[in-house]
Amino acid sequence: MLRLIIFIYLLIPSFSFADQGLNFSCTNMLATFGKKFQPLNYKLEATGFHYFDKKQNKFMIIPSKELDFGEDHFTVKFKDYELGFQKIVFAGDTEPTITMSKYDHKNNKFLDHYVCDLKREFIN
């Protein structure tokens, strides 16, 4: 009887679900005026914020505990600037848009604004 139960248990597939991560692909809003910009790509997971550092030529992770989260936004702080991601519903739209702003906290001014495409992915 025990062998039969074990055999049936092995035949029934087991499903496990991983956490979902968010992939952001952000394009400078000036691209709408015809300028060419490379999209910036980021990933947000439960463990942290992932980005590619061009100066060090490697992928970096900022732990989640160092991020500032709010109801409809989160902020990633770097040495010279910060990236603010926010969910906004523009006038005339029904669906929210994800935007990112690059803010220079040393000079107290915004540097660039981006619109982001969001894709949910399971974490491997």
N residues, the chain: 124
Looking at residue 24, its amino acid is F
Question: Average of pLDDT values for 3-30?
Answer: 70
> In the numeric block, which tokens belong to residue 103?
């803010």
Question: Average of pLDDT values for 34-48?
Answer: 88
Tens digit of pLDDT for each residue in 62-101?
Answer: 999 999 998 889 999 998 899 999 998 888 888 888 999 9
Cβ atoms of 84 and 75 within 8 Å: the answer is yes
Looking at residue 121, its amino acid is E
Tens digit of pLDDT for each residue in 91-114?
Answer: 888 888 899 999 998 899 999 999
Q: What is the pLDDT of residue 3?
A: 64
> SS3 of 106, please?
coil
CA distances from 81 to 12, 72, 101, 107, 122 (A): 52, 20, 10, 9, 30
Tell me the domain boundaries of the chain: 18-122
Alpha helices in the chain (DSSP H): 2-11
Q: What is the pLDDT of residue 108?
A: 92
Q: What is the pLDDT of residue 13?
A: 62
Q: What is the pLDDT of residue 24?
A: 92
Cβ atoms of 31 and 39 within 8 Å: the answer is no
CA distances from 65 to 37, 75, 102 (A): 31, 11, 20
> In the numeric block, which tokens belong to residue 2?
């025990």
> SS3 of 57, please?
coil
Range with lowest mean pLDDT among 30-34, 35-39, 81-85, 106-110: 30-34
52 pLDDT higher than 60: yes
